[in-house]
């Protein structure tokens, strides 16, 4: 059940009717004196799955981290569902939103990390129900029930009471995916989720993600080195270089017929 819009929309455009799920407006990100992103503008439509590719240091991970508010936005605005995420414009001035407002916004966003970042002091189940119970205020019994069905879905139904540190990397990552999904996010950010895994464990994790892509209409923003996977699941691929979008389009176009020499060099170096 692929999302209705965008699957075959014209390359490079996301201008569909309705509000974009994510909008970057004049985004700038500096770390000290180095500028990582500059004047970045793009939108992601609801239900769209976008893969960010590019050489390391091109700012792709920073984009995900900005959406998750893990990095401070040093310039411009990010909108989620048309609402400002961290900063807004007031009387022509850029002002920071109260952290509570921002946190209310981030509940719609989930993220899966390269290093899993499961909490070792909680069991697998506790990891998954922590936020639904204490952030969304769900009744515990309901959260547990949902967590268990999510664990079934990622193939770890029997691991609910284990400590994360006793699981393999691939299992930990699948728990992390379940944990993110337990918040029923509208947007899921996947930051090189298979990079820390042994090669033989990558398949399981990608399988779970493929399943999510096929059965839900969650908006996804991915950074990955698994080009085959990117080609299968994404509607659009954006090639970054030096903090700028070098080119973008449907996966077939980017992978088979890249316009830029740099894209070609990059693709041949990773494939």
Partner 1 sequence: MTDNFTTLLNFLPQLWEGIQTTLILTVAGAIGTIIIAIVLGLAMTSLHAWMRIPARIIVEFFRGTSLLVQLFWLFYVFPLLGVDLDPILCGIGALALNYGAYSAEVVRSSIKTVDKGQWEGAIALSLSPTRRMVRVIFPQAWALMVPSLATLLIQLLKGTAVVSFITLQDLTEKIDQLRQSTNDTYFAFTIGLIIYFVIAWLIQEGMNFLERRATAKLGRRRPNSRADRRVARRDARADKNSDPGSTSVAGPNAGNVGYGGPL
Binding residues (CB under 8 A) for partner 1: these are: 68-70, 99, 103-104, 106-107, 109-111, 113, 115-122, 130-131, 134-135, 162-166, 179-180, 183
Of 117 and 216, CB closest to partner 1: 117
DSSP string, the chain: ---SSSTTSPTT----SS--SEEEEEEEEEETTEEEEEEEEEEE-TT-EEEEE-STTSSHHHHHHHHTTSS---EEEEEETTEESSEEEETTEEEEPPHHHHHHHHTTEEEE-TT----TTS-HHHHHHHHHHHTS---HHHHHHHHHHHHHHTT-GGGTTS-GGGS-HHHHHHHHHHHHHTT--SEEEEESTTTTS-HHHHHHHHHHHHHHHHH---EEEEE-S-HHHHHHH-SEEEEEETTEEEEEE-HHHHHHS-SSHHHHHHHHHH-
- Least distance from C-beta 178 to partner 1, angstroms? 12
Q: How far is the CB of 265 from partner 1 (least distance, A)?
A: 32
Judged by beta carbon, residue 53 or residue 187, the one nearer partner 1 is 187
- Indicate the residue among 84 and 249 with the shorter CB distance to partner 1: 84
Residue 120 or 157 having the CB closest to partner 1 = 120
Tell me the torsion sign for CA atoms 250, 253, 255, 260. Answer: negative
Please report how close the Cβ of residue 261 comes to partner 1 at its closest, in angstroms: 36
Min separation Cβ 16 and partner 1, Å: 28
Query: Closest distance between partner 1 and the C-beta of residue 57, in Å?
Result: 19
Is 18 or 120 the residue whose CB approaches partner 1 more closely?
120
Closer residue to partner 1, CB minimum distance, 10 or 135: 135
CB of 60 to partner 1, least distance (A): 17
């Amino acid at each position: 059940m692929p999302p209705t819009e965008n699957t075959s929309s014209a390359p490079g455009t996301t201008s569909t009717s309705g509000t974009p799920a994510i909008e970057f407006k004049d985004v700038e990100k500096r770390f000290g004196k180095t500028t990582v992103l500059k004047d970045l503008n793009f939108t992601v439509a609801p239900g769209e799955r976008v893969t960010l590719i590019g050489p390391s240091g091109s700012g792709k991970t920073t984009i995900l981290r900005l959406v998750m508010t893990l990095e401070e936005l040093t310039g411009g605005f990010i909108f989620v569902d048309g609402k400002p995420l961290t900063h807004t414009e007031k009387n022509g001035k850029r002002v920071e939103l109260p952290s509570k407002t921002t946190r209310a916004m981030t509940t719609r966003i989930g993220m899966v990390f390269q290093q899993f970042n499961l909490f070792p002091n909680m069991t697998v189940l506790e990891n998954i129900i922590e936020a639904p119970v204490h952030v969304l205020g769900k009744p515990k019994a309901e959260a547990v029930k949902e967590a268990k069905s999510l664990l079934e879905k990622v193939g770890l139904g029997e691991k609910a009471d284990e400590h994360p540190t006793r699981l393999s990397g691939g299992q930990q990552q699948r728990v992390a995916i379940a944990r993110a999904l337990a918040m029923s996010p509208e947007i899921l950010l996947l930051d090189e989720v298979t990079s820390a895994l042994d090669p033989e464990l990558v398949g399981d994790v990608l399988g779970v993600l493929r399943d999510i892509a096929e059965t839900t209409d969650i908006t996804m923003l991915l950074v990955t080195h698994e080009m085959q996977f990117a080609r299968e699941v994404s509607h659009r691929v954006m090639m970054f270089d030096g903090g700028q979008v070098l080119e973008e389009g449907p996966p077939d176009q980017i992978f088979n017929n890249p316009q830029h020499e740099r894209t070609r060099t990059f693709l041949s170096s990773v494939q």
